[in-house]
Amino acid sequence: MPGIEIAGITKEFPGGVTALNALDLTIEDGEFFALLGPSGCGKTTLLRTIAGLEPATSGQIRIGDRDVTDLSPGDRNVAMVFQDYALYPHMTVRENIAYPLKVKKVARQQRSDEADAAGASLSLDELMERRPGQLSGGQQQRVALARAIACRPDAFLFDEPLSNLDARLRLEARGFLKQLQHDLATTAVFVTHDQSEALALADRMAVMELGEIRQVGTPSDLFPHPANLFVASFIGSTPMNLVPGNAGSDGVTFEGGVLPVAASALPVAGGDAEAADVVYGIRPEYVDVTGPGDGLDGTVTVTENLGTQFLVTVEIGGVQLRATVPEGDEPRLGDRVGLAPDARRALLYDVATGSLLG
């Protein structure tokens, strides 16, 4: 199936608002690609620009070997699944699924057959004569997906399609959506502000901020090696520890002591470690909780139950550091403990630019 190539796409709205700032991005054919970022970062605008619902101010969009920059949405052969599913309340499930084919003037019997086949693939056989108001949220989502499948598009565009589902159903739908995309082998672009969805679903992902792409990579690239402070603070269900300090040959000195870091990550000058102001980053998952005197000593101020783990916040020299411990091993509030960060997992960021050093 065709991939998507975005070259220098800029989108400006009246009043001088730049929603997308000269973006370059290549999405491979058959890839499940996530656009991740906070509200207002431009991810939905980029999706709508790919779909043709928003005209680009400048730049080019190619789907496969076609330049679609100036084509209408109906001529781009993409299918979009919206956050609210956008089903027609007066139509049956069959009619909703078949409606895009009707717009394309496909013969009645053929579009009915296509709708039945798409519905069957998503286990909607028993619901084809119902209307959206008679369906649960998960069933409505499957109808929206079936409508997209029936079009046989070159690409699926998903605009936060799981956000209206409850927590349990979201987890089920997440796995279902990934399996469906894999089976269809169709390029998919998925917009979300939920990093856990992006990490679970995406083959690759782009993290966006203020209309720009801050980092592109696989989940296994971005989670352990965020390229800048914005990505470091945004990616991960537990916030990364980010501690300002001074890097030297022994590690990074801060108010509570010295944080260990691999020698290869230290700023160097002439082969020797160079003292420099940095931000020390390490994920709570890479910090061990030990006994007092065996690491950086501090006082437990917060414990949060994550299910099979606890997130423990420890105050050390006026700085809050977090670590995870297995369920049953959690300390109590007020306990004195030690923290032992894994030096191999520590990252250093430039204070001025926010970029990863080394």
Find how far residue 65's CA is from the centre of its chain.
27
Task: Give the tens place of pLDDT for each residue, 240-299.
Answer: 999 999 998 889 999 989 999 998 887 764 444 456 899 999 999 999 999 888 889 999
H or E element at residue 46: helix 43-51
Average pLDDT, the chain: 90
Quick: pLDDT tens for 35-56: 999 999 999 999 999 999 999 9
Predicted confidence at residue 269, as pLDDT, reads 46
Query: Which of 233, 251, 250 is closest to 242 using CA atoms?
Result: 233
Taking the CA atoms of 332, 333, 338 and 343 in sequence, report the sign of the dihedral they define.
positive
Contacts of 221 (CB under 8 A, 6+ apart): none
Residue whose structure tokens are 């931000």? 279
Q: Which residues pair with 327 in a beta bridge?
A: none
CA–CA separation, 193 vs 230, rounded Å?
14
Q: How many residues belong to the chain?
A: 358
**pLDDT-flagged residues of the chain (< 70):** 1, 268-275
Rounded to an integer, what distance in angstroms lies between the CA atom of residue 53 and that of residue 101?
19
Other Cβ atoms closer than 10 A to 192: 22
Q: How many other C-beta atoms are found inside a 10 Å radius of the C-beta of residue 288?
A: 14
Cα end-to-end span (Å), the chain: 38
CB proximity list for 151: less than 8 A, separation 6 or greater: 77, 79, 100, 101
For residue 183, how many other CB atoms are within 10 A of its CB?
A: 9
Distance CA 44, CA 42 (A): 6
Contact 283, 321 (CB under 8 A): no
Model confidence, pTM: 0.87
What are the tokens at 345? 């997992």
Q: Contact 324/302 with Cβ under 8 angstroms?
A: no
The pair of three-digit structure tokens given for residue 308, joined into one six-digit string: 């099979």
Distance CA 31, CA 27 (A): 7
One-character DSSP codes across 75-101: GS-EEEE-TTTT--TTS-HHHHHHHHH
Q: What confidence score (pLDDT) does residue 268 get?
A: 60
At 358 the pLDDT is 73
